[in-house]
Amino acid sequence: MEPTPALADRQQFDQVLGNLFLNARDASPLAHGAPAIRIDVRDTGIGMDDATRQQIFEPFFTTKGVGKGTGLGLAVVLGAIQQDHGMIEAHSALGRGTTFSVFWPLAEAVRQRCPGLPVLFVSGYTDDIIALHGFVREGVALLEKPFSPSVLARKVRGIVDARSARGA
């Protein structure tokens, strides 16, 4: 079966996901020993057998035909999630589709695991929304959208310099 694009406005799709993430964060139970946001992505495809499922995160592994994919997609996904101290699980059965469950630890769960970790919160929301949800507090820097690459570089430099001055 060929992939079928969904009809969705990109900004509205981002807004839907953002609001769902906020709701999930506010209602998050413990997942794998730490508060986390869990996102499940399910398909109704043909599914995978266990041998295939065990290889899906390996670089260059693909079940697609020649010229249809690089085999890097899920390896990149795994790397990005692990970089954020998260995890991903894949559940699949032949004829029943596949479910990927992604767990991202919350902005506090990561800091408990990695004390002193600098945090830069980037948002397009207004100050009052950010304050209402308590995202920015001590040890968390805020960068408001839109911003230029030079503004981002200055903000990151400031965080690194402040951390160095504290001896962290």
Where residue 23 falls among pLDDT bands split at 50, 70, 90?
Answer: low
- Lowest average pLDDT, out of 1-15, 22-36, 52-66, 117-131, goes to 22-36
Query: What residue segments make up the domains of the chain, in order of their start?
Result: 10-105, 118-165
- Judge contact between 87 and 32, C-beta under 8 A: yes
pLDDT tier, 109 (very low <50, low <70, confident <90, very high otherwise): low
User: In this predicted structure, what is the pLDDT of residue 54?
Assistant: 94
The pLDDT value recorded for residue 31 is 47
The tokens for 78 are 């795994």
Average of per-residue pLDDT values in the chain: 79
Nearest in space to 107 (alpha carbons), one of 138, 80, 128, 132: 138
Q: Write 115-122 long-range contacts (CB < 8 A, 24+).
A: 116/163, 116/168, 118/159, 118/160, 118/163, 120/155, 120/156, 120/159, 122/147
Min mean pLDDT across 43-47, 71-75, 152-156, 161-165 is at 161-165
Burial of 56 (0-12, 13-18, 19+ CB in 10 A): buried
pLDDT of residue 52: 93
SS3 content of the chain, % helix, strand, coil (to 5): 35, 20, 40
Per residue in 41-95, pLDDT (tens digit) is: 888 889 999 999 999 999 998 888 788 778 788 898 898 888 877 888 999 999 9
| CATH 3.30.565.10 for the 10-105 domain, yes or no | yes
With a cut of 80, say whether residue 35 has pLDDT above it. Answer: no
